[in-house]
């Protein structure tokens, strides 16, 4: 199936007279990726091991493997931590957030803006957490 442009989908939603109409027509266009499936996809793409990602994401092995096995669903902060674990770019991390059902990093949110800055500077997770903490915004690893 050919992927439809977001603008086209948005237009179809706006002009639909009933929810059933656009939900049926667009069923194959919605992004519904289970986080564990996407993590497995990234393992293949990035040529890393689960243990490398878990370590760089500052996750306990038991929690990290539960995310990879689909036994637990990571929240947005944990997805971001995993993004650091995979050493993703900003674009890649935003794709990961969208594909797993979370909002992309938003430049007008100060917490998100500092994460964007850190990614742009290629900071690791520890340095990013230090930056967030310095500005009184908590950390990625302490978010729940």
* 62 in a structural domain: yes
pLDDT for residue 1 is more than 50: no
Q: What is the mean pLDDT of residues 27-56?
A: 88
Greater model confidence, 39 or 6:
39
Q: Is residue 107 within 8 Å of residue 113, measured between CB atoms?
A: yes
* 143 in a structural domain: no
- Confidence at residue 4, expressed as pLDDT on a 0 to 100 scale: 64
**CA-to-CA distance for 68 and 23, rounded, in angstroms?**
30
* 50 in a structural domain: yes
pLDDT one-digit tens code per residue, 81-98: 999 999 999 999 999 998
* Among 11-20, 101-110, 122-131, the least confident range: 11-20
CATH of the domain at 51: 1.10.260
What is the torsional sign of CA 28, 29, 34, 38?
A: positive
- Confidence at residue 138, expressed as pLDDT on a 0 to 100 scale: 94
Neighbours of 122 (CB within 10 A): 9
Mean pLDDT of the residues in the chain: 90
Q: What is the mean pLDDT of residues 19-33?
A: 70
* 141 in a structural domain: no
* 4 in a structural domain: no
- How many domains is the chain partitioned into structurally? 1
* 27 in a structural domain: no
What are the E-state strand segments in 46-88?
none
Q: pLDDT band for position 11 (50/70/90)?
A: confident
pLDDT for residue 143 is more than 60: no
CA distances from 42 to 10, 47, 52 (A): 28, 8, 13
Q: pLDDT band for position 17 (50/70/90)?
A: confident
- Confidence at residue 20, expressed as pLDDT on a 0 to 100 scale: 81
User: Domain limits at 82?
Assistant: 33-133
Q: pLDDT band for position 32 (50/70/90)?
A: low
* 15 in a structural domain: no
* 80 in a structural domain: yes
């Amino acid at each position: 199936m050919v992927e439809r442009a977001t603008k086209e989908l948005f237009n179809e939603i706006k002009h639909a007279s009933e929810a059933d109409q656009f939900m049926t027509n667009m069923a194959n266009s919605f992004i519904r990726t289970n986080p564990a499936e996407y993590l497995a996809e990234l393992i293949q793409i990035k040529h890393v091991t689960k243990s490398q990602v878990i370590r760089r994401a500052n996750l306990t092995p038991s929690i990290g493997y539960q995310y990879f096995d689909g036994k637990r669903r990571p929240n947005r902060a944990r997805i971001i931590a995993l993004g650091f674990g995979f050493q993703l770019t900003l674009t890649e991390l935003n794709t990961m957030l969208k594909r797993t059902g979370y909002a992309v990093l938003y430049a007008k949110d100060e917490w998100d803006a500092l994460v964007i800055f850190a990614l742009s500077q290629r900071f690791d997770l520890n340095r990013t957490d230090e930056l967030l903490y310095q500005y009184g915004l908590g950390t990625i690893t302490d978010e729940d």
